[in-house]
Amino acid sequence: MADSRDHLSTLAAQALGWIDETTRAVVPPIHPSATYERAPDGSYPGGRTYTRDHNPTYDQTETLLARLEGGEAALLFSSGMAAATTFLETLDPGAHVIAPRHMYWTIRRWLEELAERDRIALDLVPAGDLGVLERALQPGRTAVVWVETPANPTGEVTDIAATVRLAHAAGARVVVDSTVATPVLCRPLSHGADLVLHSATKQLNGHADVLAGVLVTARRDDGWERIAHDRGYRGAVLGPFECWLLLRGMRTLFLRVSRSAETALRIAEWLDAQSTVAEVFYPGLVTHPGHEIAARQMVGGFGMMVSFRPHGGAAGARQVAGRLRLFKNATSLGGVESLVEHRAPVEGPGTPVPDDLLRLSVGIEAVEDLIADLVSALRE
């Protein structure tokens, strides 16, 4: 098995180097059983009772995720939203939550619905604005400060360490949605965050064929045990085959993320130089307002997500998306194939996203081909 001296890329490529004890297989087996045999005295000699709580297929994947993020433990869920909602349901009634206005829209909408039901108190603040955050914090009452960096789809960057200092001083936990960065580019726990969330559907899996989510904790405390307890009772668990696919995808994680980030930066720089483009959102650009912070807390790149606003308003954005050939017009991020999405219509009324914004998920294709595709689509 891989040890603590190995690079994270080695841990991912070898899936921790575990070998199946029974067959000596290098590739981990799948355990589809929903239940486990009791001994005559009623005990469980295998240490497992029912797959809704524990499945041996999870062990390797959760351990690898915890190692990659530098956490004490990880839990897999049936989707990123299942991970987020399970955590939020563990909060006490009336808990105060602070979250950014620009963030993954489904989580933001769920937070708003919880607030509408008086389940939580919610303040939405500008992403990364420490002054507004400090004023919004209510010491002794604020339970969670939610961070998403870089933010989806507008690319705002939040200083994790500075946010942690303010939140912890007020007695609040910090949860970082690091889906866009992945542990390849940023490890929020090393900056003091308490929990990290990923939609593992995206670049962790990397092949757009698995729906999955994960939470990683800095410590096994009472809050973490409550999340683990609720996951079992809510049944928000990942299927064994999906878990196996996720682990398989993660073995190429460092190669895919590095390639996509390198290509995304070149595309962002190219878009930024075009007269047909009004604005580009990518923290790798030196002109991006969050570039200095991103360069300090991200290592090896700035992610696969590039958003931009072509001239011509919403109608122009639709036309550009429709002309693209290699960038497939579809929802999601982080696959090996590149995607484009006209984002505001997806989020619907009330979205803070500009109505002419196009979001690119940059894959691993040749950068020259992707830029040629954009050249054709952006023709005046």
- Residues annotated as catalytic are 52, 104, 177, 202
**Regarding beta strands 339-342 and 328-329, do their DSSP bridges make them parallel or antiparallel, or are they unpaired?**
parallel
Cβ neighbours of residue 66 closer than 8 Å, sequence gap 6 or more? 72, 73, 74, 216
The Cα 324–Cα 327 span in angstroms is 6
The Cα 330–Cα 316 span in angstroms is 18
The Cα 15–Cα 352 span in angstroms is 40
Cis check: omega of the bond before 32, within 30 degrees of 0: no
**Structure tokens given for 243:** 């878990």
**Structure tokens given for 170:** 């007020």
The Cα 61–Cα 163 span in angstroms is 29
User: Is the CB of residue 194 less than 8 Å from the CB of residue 145?
Assistant: no
- At residue 273, what is the residue type? A
**Structure tokens given for 204:** 């962790």
Measured in degrees and rounded to the nearest 5, phi and psi for residue 87 equal: -60, -50
List the one residue out of 215, 195, 108, 205 whose CA is nearest residue 151.
Answer: 108
**Structure tokens given for 5:** 């001296």
- At residue 106, what is the residue type? T
List the one residue out of 221, 172, 160 whose CA is nearest residue 196.
Answer: 160
The Cα 199–Cα 266 span in angstroms is 25
